[in-house]
Amino acid sequence: MGVSLSVAISLLLGTGGHAERGPRIGATTAISYTGSDHTKVVNISALAARLLARLADDFPVLRDLVERLVQFVLGQQRPDGSWPYAADTGGGWEDSFHTGYILEALLGVRDFSIPIPADVLARGFAAYGRFFNPDGGARLDPSPGSALDAHSAGQGIITYAALSSSTATSIPAWQGAREMALRIASWARESLWLPSKGHFAYRINGGRRDEREFTRWVQAWMARAMATAADLEAKAAIPREPANAVGVA
């Protein structure tokens, strides 16, 4: 694969190659953003699980770590399907794009034969839908008066596209996932794209559009999202049949 096990873990966890330095919670493991921080962050634990799952075929020793990370993420899901930012005091808030990261990562983990319960995904996408207006407008928070947010829109396109292309066909949101991704993309083009400036606006808050340019946080994410939407549009005329579901318990 061209990368050693120790280098892969070091790059991912920032722990000098010592995966076990991540905070442990019973039989689960959580990851923080830096080696000196012990905040048990849900979304980065999910993203780490997906990346390590890719390596696990070549390095089977990683599978136990992947499963412990996944169990941590699953254990943090609330009854309404949402996830907090972190499993620590002060980390109980939620927002759109971190929720999208988690769902996209869990769908990715499934591709590497790590079972994810169908109910987890079904409830997760039901909760995720609260962040989007009927026209595809992407809210940062689930409250109706929340700011409309470019990064949330970009991640929404990516997350719903991932569901659309997945084999999680038993998830109620699967059937309309492609249409939802394209609806968000259409809203973003109409409401956030600034033709005279050649970039996407940052947010719309209280009816006022914040047109500041953020290269990584907005433009890079929207470039990836719009490429994803273009791929979906190219495939829109091709009828599809549900694939055989795999990896869903």
Instruction: Give the pLDDT of residue 130.
Output: 98
Q: Report how far residue 63's alpha carbon sits from residue 81's, in angstroms, rounded to the nearest whole number.
A: 26
Residues 34 and 104 in one domain: no
Pick the last residue of a domain from 61, 91, 121: 91
Instruction: Give the pLDDT of residue 235.
Output: 82
Instruction: Give the pLDDT of residue 87.
Output: 95
Residues 34 and 118 in one domain: no
**Predicted confidence band at 25 (pLDDT cuts at 50, 70, 90)?**
very low
Residues in the chain: 249
Section 140-158 average pLDDT: 97
Least confident of 23-27, 40-44, 177-181, 237-241: 23-27
Model pTM?
0.87
Per-residue pLDDT reduced to its tens digit, 106-128 = 999 999 989 999 999 999 999 99
The range of the structural domain enclosing residue 167 comes to 95-249
**Predicted confidence band at 240 (pLDDT cuts at 50, 70, 90)?**
low
**Predicted confidence band at 34 (pLDDT cuts at 50, 70, 90)?**
confident
User: In degrees rounded to 5, what are phi and psi of residue 86?
Assistant: -150, 160
Q: Report how far residue 99's alpha carbon sits from residue 203's, in angstroms, rounded to the nearest whole number.
A: 18
Residues 210 and 141 in one domain: yes
Long-range contacts of 91-94, Cβ-Cβ distance < 8 Å, separation of 24 or more: 91/39, 91/40, 91/41, 94/141, 94/142
Q: Side chain identity at 36, as an amino acid letter?
A: S
Instruction: Give the pLDDT of residue 243.
Output: 52
Instruction: Give the pLDDT of residue 239.
Output: 59
Residues 48 and 134 in one domain: no
Pick the last residue of a domain from 91, 109, 132: 91
Q: Report how far residue 55's alpha carbon sits from residue 13's, in angstroms, rounded to the nearest whole number.
A: 14
Section 229-240 average pLDDT: 79
Residues 41 and 109 in one domain: no
Residues 31 and 122 in one domain: no
Residue with the larger pLDDT of the pair 152 and 38 = 152
Least confident of 4-18, 45-59, 135-149, 205-219: 4-18
Strands 199-200 and 28-29: unpaired
Rounded to 5°, the CA angle 16-19-20 comes to 120
Kindly report the average pLDDT of the chain as a whole number. 88
pLDDT beyond 90 at 247: no
Q: Do the beta carbons of residue 66 and residue 110 sit within 8 Å?
A: no
Instruction: Give the pLDDT of residue 33.
Output: 83
Per-residue pLDDT reduced to its tens digit, 36-82 = 888 999 999 999 999 999 999 889 989 999 999 999 999 999 999 99
Pick the last residue of a domain from 72, 91, 110: 91
Section 149-163 average pLDDT: 98
pLDDT beyond 50 at 212: yes
pLDDT beyond 50 at 2: no
